[in-house]
Amino acid sequence: MSRVAEISVKRIKVYAYHGVSPQERTVGADFYVTVSALVDVEASAWQHDQLEGTADYSRFVSIIRMEMAVPSNLLEHVASRIASAVLAECPPVLKVSVTIEKENPPLGVLCDGVSVKIEQTR
């Protein structure tokens, strides 16, 4: 018997170099990344307290750091890479949602930021 749980790592702050303009790719900006996953949790985790029966959220953090270090024009591209890596490297994950927020985008208006959310299922 298994159970489904939602496991989230919220708003990991990463300084990275994503954007279409040369300035964004040179200067960089603060980004916040949230990964939420629906996970098939095996009895070994919920009954016997063993990590092997669930998804290790520290792996989510490693994936975020690795993918955010690769510059991209579009946040959609980065979010999709993160989602694909989570599904590939964390077999218990059934569905993953990745949100990337960018502070102070160069839009010529005052705003809190922009964000992109990608969802992928196995």
Q: Annotated catalytic sites, by residue?
A: 102
Alpha carbons 97 and 85: distance in angstroms, whole number: 12
Q: Which two tokens stand for residue 28?
A: 């960089």
Sign of dihedral through CA atoms 18, 105, 83, 54?
Answer: positive
Alpha carbons 41 and 27: distance in angstroms, whole number: 42
Q: How far is CA 103 from CA 95, 113, 115, in A?
A: 27, 5, 9
Sheet holding 114-121, edge to edge: 2-16, 29-42, 93-102, 114-121
